[in-house]
A and B are shown apart, each in its own frame.
Chain A
Amino acid sequence: MVNSGGQLYTIEGVAAGLIMLLTAYLVVGATSVYTPGDAHISDMQLEVLGSDALAMMDTPPNSSVTESPLQQIIETDDGSRFRNLFLNYTNVSGYGPKHDIQFSASYTYEAPDTTITSPPINSSRNLTGGEHAVRVTKWVIVNKKLPPLSADPPENRAVLVEVHLWRD
């Protein structure tokens, strides 16, 4: 004769087993993003920081100055001034808490023979290719001889300032 005792225990056991299986399935599925999911979030923050720094550098400090610091930097090839301003604005130097950010900056122009050249401005460290860098850019209109050894007089040119920045 079949013993029908303990049916409630059986049902409870089956229900508990199902819940445990489902939970295990969810937990195993949860960490299946193998590239660290928050890498993009810190990339985004770094990009915003770099864009803001470049935007500040492209703003004239007061109304009596017509050219922004960034324009002057490109026109006079003043790489060390770029370095000082950029590291200051990204909180690498200066007062307060510091960031460990490295940068490599260049500007791009088009020569009269339509070749495109990117001379370096300055960098805090060489790019070796292994860094996880983000790229921020800024358009600047400068009055400059491009290429620098050109025989033509300086004229208004649009150049693209490009900065790679990454954390150590």
Chain B
Amino acid sequence: MARLNDDAQWIILMGFLVSFSLFFLALIINQSTVVGQSTAESVIEFPKNDIRDISHVIKEHAEKNGKIDDRVYHDIINLSIQREGAVVNYTLNTQYYQRLDVFNHSLIHYNNGVTTYSENWTSE
């Protein structure tokens, strides 16, 4: 029976180490594309600019008049459904604090089927 040759064991061990490190590098490359894509997809899907914009236009409008312009209200709601695919509604109340301080209180709701957003806003 031939005697087992136990020379060069360090070389074999280092060979294993290198193969395993290559294996883990391959694992990282495997996941990287998926991670980049799903991150970008979720960023695109979240309607950050739509929400910011609808909130901005409602507040800008409220600051101008202090009450809801019926025409603008229907424009915003109907165009949101038709062009943005989102259900939007808002209320606006002008309130008085001790007859001196006037401020607007507004509730804004946004729902596009994926993202729901509600805002409770009080002007200064």
Contact = CB atoms under 8 A, between A and B. Distances in A.
B49 A141 contact: no
B76 A5 contact: no
Interface stretch (A78-86, A94-102, A122-130, A155-163): A155-163
A138 B76 CA distance: 12
A90 to B, nearest CB: 15
B102 interface: no
Given A8-B4, A38-B36, A116 B83 contact: yes
B53 A12 contact: no
Interface string B64-108: 100001011011101100111000000000000000000000000
A155 B76 CA distance: 15
Contact of B27 (A6, A26, A47): A26
A31 interface: yes
Contacts of B61: 141, 156, 158
Interface string A147-160: 00000000111111
B31 to A, nearest CB: 8
Given A40-B41, A110-B78, A139 B57 contact: yes
B123 interface: no
B20 A19 contact: yes
Interface residues on B, range: 35 or more
A44 interface: yes
A5 B50 CA distance: 73
Nearest to B37: A37
A139 B20 contact: no
Interface string A4-42: 111110001001100100110011011101000110110
B75 A110 contact: yes
Interface of A: 3-8, 12, 15-16, 19, 22-23, 26-27, 29-31, 33, 37-38, 40-41, 43-44, 47, 51, 108-110, 114, 116, 136-141, 155-160, 162
Given A19-B19, A41-B40, A43-B40, 15 more contacts: A7-B4, A16-B19, A23-B23, A26-B26, A30-B33, A37-B36, A40-B44, A137-B49, A141-B61, A157-B72, A158-B79, A159-B75, A160-B83, A160-B84, A162-B83
